[in-house]
């Protein structure tokens, strides 16, 4: 008697529900529907397949109990980011943190990880923020090297109640040891100011099982490589020059290789992971064998056992709904990047590159595509009929809002801009030193229509676009808020929305990408 899959809400007749009915045309329709579900179930989180990367989300109800679930954010509430508001069409972006755990919590993971004993504390050795635009036209992925030094907020383990105090200058991969993935999410929100909607975490065995399910992912090296040192370091990856389809343990070796790729740093490993993910996306979207549910069903049990997600995503119904959102993004609009960085003083760790990293986080927060292919946004401003007063009669308050999620406020900015205004004839301008604000973009605010003309005149003199002149009941007069986008200089320059070159952007449709091999690791 054939097994048939019904789509639905997860109850009787829902995904993963098996019945023993036959029925000719009805069976044909069910089989076609099942093939569609399985095909996208396999492809849904191709982007999560890096580092210790992914498991297949095959949406069958009987697999629900395999999916492990944990709290989304266990950090201190003051460090949490505000959820992005919906756009004019009511759409909101999706931010999903992909975590690759190096846990040695089973004999298989110990063997794959090259450890001797079970129980080594899990670390978040792969961290990638997947951002899906509100209109679902593009997707951006930002990797943070595991060696990045960050401030980890106070985290409380949701299961044990243990409190981990906040720390500074700590490697970001240690966040997972402090109560679980919810602390890694909290760390990202504190650093970037980006609200995380969900997380997905997988381990070594998850990578191997899914790589086997796919049947191989093509990767390229520009010379023969053997990742092995005389002291026993290295992933063991051994490939010939050119393109090879890797799967199983060999796929894991590729994703974990550090010694042998480029300069042997964690940055090079991140680049190799991006190449693998891009290739996997292309493979999943073109590989006809993945439409065969019989080949994937046997692997589904193993794959889902490797998955941990947040409680808001912990069912096949919700995962399937997510897959439908992700599949809307064309391959050519998927962009992989690495957080811009600088090396620490000792050269062994990295830090966010102050200006570039802050810019990248802003682009993601503002839902600006990292591939630069967004349609130009037209901004309409209300027609101002109020005539501006003479410059020397306009009272202006200037506030310092240069503090950002990654940079402290620039001392004296309010005074500097005030001096500029006074020099241009606005003798009633005054710096507000009562508080340091945090504003991503510079604004001119005014409380009522009778001051609109004055506000526009101030903006014109400073070079601030009319679209950044806003009516606000939070102020009692014309107020200039000097934002994080204007940290120096006396003339405002509109924000540059191009992706920093230091982010090393790589498009998912690039089929020519090839890892450079360190000559010391050839054979």
Give the model's pLDDT for residue 303. 59
Beta bridge partners of 238: 226
> Concatenated DSSP letters for 105-144?
-SHHHHHHHT-SSTTPPP-EEEEEEEEE-TTSS-EEEEE-
pLDDT tens string 2-39: 322 233 333 333 333 323 344 555 566 555 555 544 44
Work out the average pLDDT over 359-376.
Answer: 90
Residues 299 and 209: beta-carbon distance below 8 Å: yes
Q: Return the DSSP state at 342.
A: E
Cβ–Cβ under 8 Å, residues 287 and 215 = yes
pLDDT confidence of residue 19: 34
Residue predicted with more confidence, 481 or 327: 481
**Confidence grade of residue 291 (pLDDT, cut at 50, 70, 90):** low
Average pLDDT over residues 205-233: 84
Strands 167-171 and 149-152: antiparallel
Separation between Cα atoms, residue 5 and residue 23, nearest integer Å: 13
The DSSP 8-state label assigned to residue 447 in this structure reads: S
Mean pLDDT in the chain? 81
Strand partners, 436: 400
Longest dimension (CA), the chain: 88
Q: What is the pLDDT of residue 268?
A: 92
What is the model's pLDDT at position 335? Answer: 97
205-209, 234-238, 519-523: the lowest-pLDDT one = 205-209
CA separation, residue 276 to residues 234, 244, 279, 345, 511 (Å): 18, 11, 5, 31, 11
Instruction: Kindly state the percentage of the chain with pLDDT values over 90.
Output: 51
Whether residue 244 contacts residue 217, with contact meaning beta carbons closer than 8 Å, is answered with no
- Euclidean distance between CA atoms 232 and 259, whole angstroms: 11
Strand partners for 134: none
pLDDT band at 284 (very low <50, low <70, confident <90, very high): confident
So what's the pLDDT on residue 370?
Answer: 96
Q: What pLDDT is attached to residue 129?
A: 97
Strand partners, 139: 132, 334
pLDDT at 106 over 80: no
More confident residue, 386 or 313: 313
What local confidence, expressed as pLDDT, does residue 252 receive?
Answer: 86
Q: DSSP for 279-329?
A: HHHHHHHH-GGGG-HHHHHHHHHHHHHT-EEEGGG-SHHHHHHHHHHHTTS
pLDDT at position 26, please?
59
- Helices 266-286 and 248-256, axial angle in degrees (round to 10): 140
What residue has token string 């070796």?
253
**Measured between alpha carbons, how far is 312 from 310 in angstroms, rounded to an integer?**
5
Per-residue pLDDT tens digits for 35-66: 544 444 444 444 343 333 333 444 456 678 88
Query: CA 367, CA 437: separation in Å to the nearest integer?
Result: 23
Q: Which helix (H) or strand (E) holds 69?
A: strand 68-70
Q: Residue 114: what pLDDT?
A: 47
Per the document, the length of the chain is: 523
CA distance 227 to 258: 8
For the chain, what is the radius of gyration of the CA atoms? 26
Strand ranges (E), 317-377:
334-338, 341-343, 350-352
List phi, psi (to 5°) of 398. -115, 125
For residue range 164-198, what is the model confidence (pLDDT) as tens digits?
999 999 999 999 999 999 999 999 999 999 999 99
φ, ψ dihedrals at 261, nearest 5°: -95, 120
Whether pLDDT at 311 is above 70: yes
Phi and psi at 27, nearest 5°, equal -60, -40
| Cα(175)–Cα(195) distance, integer angstroms | 17
Q: Return the closest-CA partner of residue 486 out of 510, 517, 462.
A: 462
In tens, the pLDDT along 248-269 reads 889 888 988 989 999 998 899 8
| pLDDT value of position 59 | 41
Can you give the pTM of this predicted structure? 0.75
Q: What is the reported pLDDT for 416? A: 95
Phi, psi of 446 (to 5 degrees): -145, 150
Q: 108, exposed or middle or buried, with CB in 10 Å at 0-12, 13-18, 19+?
A: middle
pLDDT band at 350 (very low <50, low <70, confident <90, very high): very high
Q: Which residue has the higher pLDDT, 61 or 358?
A: 358
pLDDT tens digits, 448-505: 999 999 999 999 999 999 889 999 999 999 999 999 889 898 889 877 889 999 999 9
Whole-angstrom distance, CA of residue 112 vs CA of residue 56 = 19
Q: Which residues, listed in sequence order, are joined to residue 506 by a DSSP beta bridge?
A: 336
């Amino acid at each position: 008697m054939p097994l048939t899959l019904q789509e639905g809400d997860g109850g009787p007749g829902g995904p993963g529900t098996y019945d023993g009915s036959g029925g000719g045309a009805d069976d044909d329709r069910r089989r076609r529907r099942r093939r569609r579900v399985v095909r996208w179930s396999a492809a849904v989180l191709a982007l999560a397949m890096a580092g210790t990367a992914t498991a297949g989300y095959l949406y069958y109800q009987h697999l629900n109990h395999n999916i492990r679930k944990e709290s989304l954010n266990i950090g201190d509430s003051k460090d949490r980011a505000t959820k992005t508001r919906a756009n004019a069409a009511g759409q909101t972006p999706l931010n999903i943190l992909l975590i690759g755990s190096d846990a040695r919590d089973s004999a298989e993971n110990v063997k794959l990880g090259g450890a001797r004993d079970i129980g080594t504390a899990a670390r978040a050795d792969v961290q990638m923020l997947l951002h899906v635009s509100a209109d679902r036209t593009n997707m951006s992925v930002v990797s943070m090297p595991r060696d990045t030094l960050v401030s980890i907020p106070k985290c409380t383990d949701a299961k044990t109640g243990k409190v981990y105090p906040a720390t500074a200058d700590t490697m970001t991969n240690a966040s997972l040891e402090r109560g679980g993935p919810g602390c890694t999410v909290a760390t990202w929100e504190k650093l970037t100011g980006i609200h995380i909607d969900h997380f997905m975490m997988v381990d070594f065995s998850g990578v191997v099982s899914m790589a086997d399910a796919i049947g191989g992912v093509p990767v390229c090296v520009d010379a023969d490589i053997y990742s092995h040192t005389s002291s026993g370091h290295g992933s063991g990856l051994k490939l010939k020059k050119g393109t090879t389809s890797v799967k199983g343990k060999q796929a894991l070796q590729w994703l974990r290789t550090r010694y042998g790729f480029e300069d042997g740093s964690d940055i090079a490993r991140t680049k190799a992971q991006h190449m693998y993910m891009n290739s996997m996306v292309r493979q999943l979207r073109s590989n006809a064998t993945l439409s065969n549910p019989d080949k994937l069903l046997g692997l589904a049990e193993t794959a889902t056992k490797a998955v941990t997600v947040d409680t808001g995503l912990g069912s096949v119904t919700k995962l399937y709904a997510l897959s439908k959102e992700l599949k809307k993004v064309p391959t050519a609009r998927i962009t992989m990047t690495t957080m811009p960085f600088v090396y620490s003083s000792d050269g062994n760790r990295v830090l966010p590159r102050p200006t570039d990293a802050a810019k990248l986080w802003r682009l993601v927060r503002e839902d600006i595509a990292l591939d630069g292919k967004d349609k130009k946004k037209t901004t309409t401003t209300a027609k101002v009929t109020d005539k501006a007063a003479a410059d020397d009669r306009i009272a202006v308050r200037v506030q310092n809002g240069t503090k950002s999620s990654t940079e402290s406020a620039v001392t004296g900015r309010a005074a500097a801009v005030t001096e500029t205004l006074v020099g241009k004839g606005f003798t009633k301008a005054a710096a507000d030193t009562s508080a340091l604000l945090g504003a991503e973009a510079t604004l001119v605010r005014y409380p009522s229509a009778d001051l609109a003309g004055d506000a526009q005149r101030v903006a014109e003199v400073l070079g601030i676009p009319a679209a950044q002149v806003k009516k606000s009941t939070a102020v009692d007069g014309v107020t200039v808020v000097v934002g994080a986008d204007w940290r120096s200089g006396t003339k405002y320059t509109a924000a540059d929305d191009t992706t920093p070159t230091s982010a090393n952007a790589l498009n998912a449709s690039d089929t020519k990408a090839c890892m450079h091999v360190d000559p010391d690791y050839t054979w």
